[in-house]
């Protein structure tokens, strides 16, 4: 309406499709890394990415979906499932990978999105659609290997037992404050996960690692 084209930066080379999306993801992650999830606004992302808000909303229905995609983008590829020949070490490795992921930017993004999911059922559905138990899949595979080795009775492998370790880790992530230290992970594995699968003492190695 008000006729004020003025300097008009709209003549710069203009990005499209993939390239633009990537730039927007980068802006989201940078904002989160710099100021945290709660300071992340669509305006700031748009400005930082030198994109228009309309471009954002053409691609994602809202903030949660955007951040969810950005987090997914930032995730390392499907981690190769460890297979060291020891259930204990395999489990510990998965837990450590998970903890490292949660402590990074992806974790911060997840925290924020989860926060919204708790308040908004639509977002919750988006998240569920998405978080198809990555950790659980890896645990399943590890357990299958342990059964093959004869290290674990197959009757003990149930979804609830498999979830116990990851659930403790997530609870720590959600309710705890400081960083997740390794002692925690070791304790969860030795006191909860292994006993649940019939392995009552650290066997191969005598100490941590």
Binding residues for DNA, per CB under 7 A? 1-5, 8-17, 20, 39-43, 50-55, 57-58, 62-63
The single residue listed with the structure tokens 């993004």 is 109
The single residue listed with the structure tokens 């499932």 is 81
Residue 26 CB partners (closer than 8 Å, separation 6+): 49
Counting contacts by CB under 8 A, is residue 41 touching a copy of itself?
A: no
Counting contacts by CB under 8 A, is residue 111 touching a copy of itself?
A: yes
The count of other CB atoms within 10 Å of the CB of residue 2 is 3
End-to-end CA distance of the chain: 66
Taking the C-alpha atoms of residue 63 and residue 83, their distance in angstroms, rounded to an integer, is 38
| Residue nearer to DNA on the CB measure, 1 or 209 | 1
Least Å distance, CB 171 to a copy of itself, is 4
> In this structure, what token pair is assigned to residue 165?
């370790």
User: Per-residue string for binding with a copy of itself, 142-161, x by CB under 8 A?
Assistant: ----------------x-xx
Taking the C-alpha atoms of residue 123 and residue 12, their distance in angstroms, rounded to an integer, is 36
Least Å distance, CB 118 to a copy of itself, is 3
Binding partner of 195, given DNA, a copy of itself, none, CB within 5-8 angstroms per partner class: a copy of itself
Residue 126 CB partners (closer than 8 Å, separation 6+): 64, 65, 68, 117
> In this structure, what token pair is assigned to residue 142?
């590890």
| Residue nearer to DNA on the CB measure, 42 or 164 | 42
> In this structure, what token pair is assigned to residue 59?
């691609």
Which residue in the set 128, 137, 148, 179 belongs to the binding site for a copy of itself (CB under 8 A)? 128
Counting contacts by CB under 8 A, is residue 182 touching a copy of itself?
A: no
Counting contacts by CB under 8 A, is residue 35 touching a copy of itself?
A: no
Which residues contribute to the site for a copy of itself (CB under 8 A)?
37-38, 111-112, 114-120, 124-125, 127-128, 131, 158, 160-161, 163-164, 167-168, 170-171, 174-175, 177, 187-188, 191-192, 195-196
């Amino acid at each position: 309406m008000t006729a004020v084209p003025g300097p008009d930066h709209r003549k710069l080379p203009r990005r499209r499709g993939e390239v633009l999306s990537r730039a927007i993801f980068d802006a989201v992650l940078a904002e989160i890394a710099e100021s945290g999830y709660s300071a992340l606004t669509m305006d700031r992302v748009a400005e930082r990415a030198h994109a228009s808000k309309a471009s954002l909303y053409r691609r994602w229905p809202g903030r949660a979906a955007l951040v969810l995609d950005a987090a997914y983008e930032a995730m390392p590829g499907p981690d190769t499932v460890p297979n060291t020949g020891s259930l204990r070490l395999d489990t510990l490795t998965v837990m450590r990978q998970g903890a490292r992921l949660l402590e990074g930017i992806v974790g911060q993004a997840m925290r924020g999105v989860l926060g919204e999911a708790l308040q908004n059922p639509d977002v919750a559905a988006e998240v569920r659609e998405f978080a198809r138990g990555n950790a659980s899949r890896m645990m399943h595979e590890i357990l299958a290997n342990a059964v093959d080795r004869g290290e674990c009775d197959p009757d003990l492998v149930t979804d609830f037992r498999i979830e116990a370790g990851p659930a403790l880790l997530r609870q720590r992530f959600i309710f705890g404050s400081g960083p997740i230290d390794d002692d925690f992970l070791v304790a969860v594995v030795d006191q909860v996960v292994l006993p649940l699968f019939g392995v009552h003492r650290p066997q191969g190695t005598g100490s941590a690692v």
